[in-house]
C-alpha cells in the first residue's frame, strides 16, 4: 500500500537542518589604554660585548656615574696605557684597558636626540703639567644595544688633544618631521665601545701619542671629561 505523499513530505522536513543567520546586527567600539612615565632611577652598566647581560666588573675599570634618568651618562671607562720606556722619538702606545666603552640611556620617550663630547686635560705629574703635546686616539668605535631602533653615529677617528679642546664622540639625531618616535636614533640604553681588532693583550683602537723626548719619569694622569647633552633640533651642540 502506498504511503500518502503528505507523510513523506513531513518526514523530509523533520530531518532538514536550518543554518543560523550570520548577518551582523550591529557593531560597537571599546578602548585599550596605557600610560608611561619616564624613569628616574640610575641605569647599571651592561656588558659591552653582550648588552643583554650586566657588567659586574664595571666598577673596577671605570666610573659608574649613578646619574638618574631619563637621559643619563651611565658609565665611562678609565684608560690605562701601561708602563713605558722614555723615547727620543714620537711613540704611539696601545691601551691595556680590556673593554673601553661609555654607556648612555635615553628613556625620555621624546625622541629629541643627544650628543656626547669629550675633553682631556693636560697630564699631571706630582702637581706639574707633563707630557706636552700628547693626545689620545679612539678609533673604529661602534654602538650596540638591545634596542631595535637605530643607534647613534659614533665618530670613527677621534683625537683628544690634551689642551682641553672638545671632540665629538657620538650623536643621536632627533625624530624626523613625521614626529614618529622610532625615527629618532639612540632610544634606550646604548654602549659606545672601542674594542680591539687584534688578539694581542693591548687595544689597537685606543692609543696614546707622545712626542719624542717629551716624557718625564714618573706617573702621569690626565682627566677625561665626557659630557652628554640633549640636542632637541637633532644638531650637534
pLDDT confidence band for 234 (50 / 70 / 90)? very low
pLDDT for position 236: 40
Which of helix, strand or coil describes residue 211?
A: coil
**Alpha helices for 112-236 (secondary structure H):** none
Q: What is the pLDDT of residues 116-133, one digit of tens each?
A: 999 999 999 999 999 999
Q: What is the pLDDT of residues 19-47, one digit of tens each?
A: 555 677 899 999 999 999 999 999 999 99
Range of the domain at 208: 40-230
- The mean of the pLDDT values for the chain is 91
Residue 34 placed within a domain: no
- CA 166/CA 74 separation, integer angstroms: 20
pLDDT for position 20: 57
Question: Please, which residues have CB within 8 angstroms of residue 181's CB and are 6 or more apart in sequence?
Answer: 109, 110, 111, 175, 187
pLDDT for position 24: 72
Q: What is the pLDDT of residues 187-227, one digit of tens each?
A: 999 999 999 988 889 999 999 999 999 999 999 999 999 99
- CA 92/CA 230 separation, integer angstroms: 34
Report the number of distinct structural domains present in the chain. 1
Residue 69 placed within a domain: yes
pTM: 0.86
Residue 101 placed within a domain: yes
Residue 33 placed within a domain: no
Residue 14 placed within a domain: no
Please give the distance of CA 15 from its chain centroid, rounded to a whole number. Answer: 71
pLDDT for position 235: 42
Element spanning 123, H or E: strand 123-125
Amino acid at each position: 500500500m502506498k504511503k500518502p505523499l503528505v507523510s513523506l513530505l513531513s518526514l523530509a522536513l523533520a530531518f532538514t537542518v536550518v543554518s543560523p543567520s550570520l548577518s551582523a546586527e550591529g557593531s560597537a567600539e571599546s578602548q585599550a589604554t596605557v600610560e608611561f612615565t619616564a624613569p628616574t632611577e640610575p641605569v647599571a652598566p651592561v656588558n659591552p660585548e653582550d648588552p643583554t647581560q650586566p657588567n659586574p666588573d664595571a666598577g673596577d675599570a671605570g666610573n659608574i656615574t649613578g646619574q638618574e634618568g631619563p637621559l643619563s651618562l651611565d658609565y665611562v671607562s678609565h684608560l690605562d696605557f701601561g708602563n713605558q720606556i722614555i723615547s727620543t722619538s714620537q711613540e704611539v702606545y696601545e691601551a691595556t684597558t680590556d673593554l673601553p666603552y661609555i654607556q648612555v640611556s635615553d628613556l625620555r620617550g621624546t625622541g629629541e636626540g643627544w650628543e656626547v663630547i669629550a675633553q682631556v686635560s693636560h697630564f699631571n705629574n706630582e702637581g706639574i703639567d707633563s707630557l706636552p703635546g700628547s693626545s689620545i686616539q679612539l678609533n673604529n668605535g661602534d654602538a650596540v644595544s638591545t634596542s631595535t631602533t637605530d643607534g647613534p653615529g659614533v665618530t670613527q677617528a677621534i683625537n683628544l688633544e690634551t689642551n682641553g679642546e672638545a671632540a665629538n664622540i657620538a650623536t643621536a639625531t632627533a625624530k624626523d618631521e613625521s614626529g614618529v618616535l622610532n625615527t629618532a636614533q639612540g632610544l634606550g640604553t646604548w654602549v659606545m665601545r672601542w674594542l680591539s681588532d687584534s688578539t694581542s693583550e693591548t687595544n689597537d683602537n685606543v692609543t696614546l701619542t707622545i712626542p719624542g723626548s717629551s716624557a718625564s719619569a714618573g706617573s702621569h694622569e690626565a682627566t677625561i671629561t665626557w659630557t652628554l647633552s640633549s640636542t632637541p633640533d637633532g644638531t650637534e651642540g
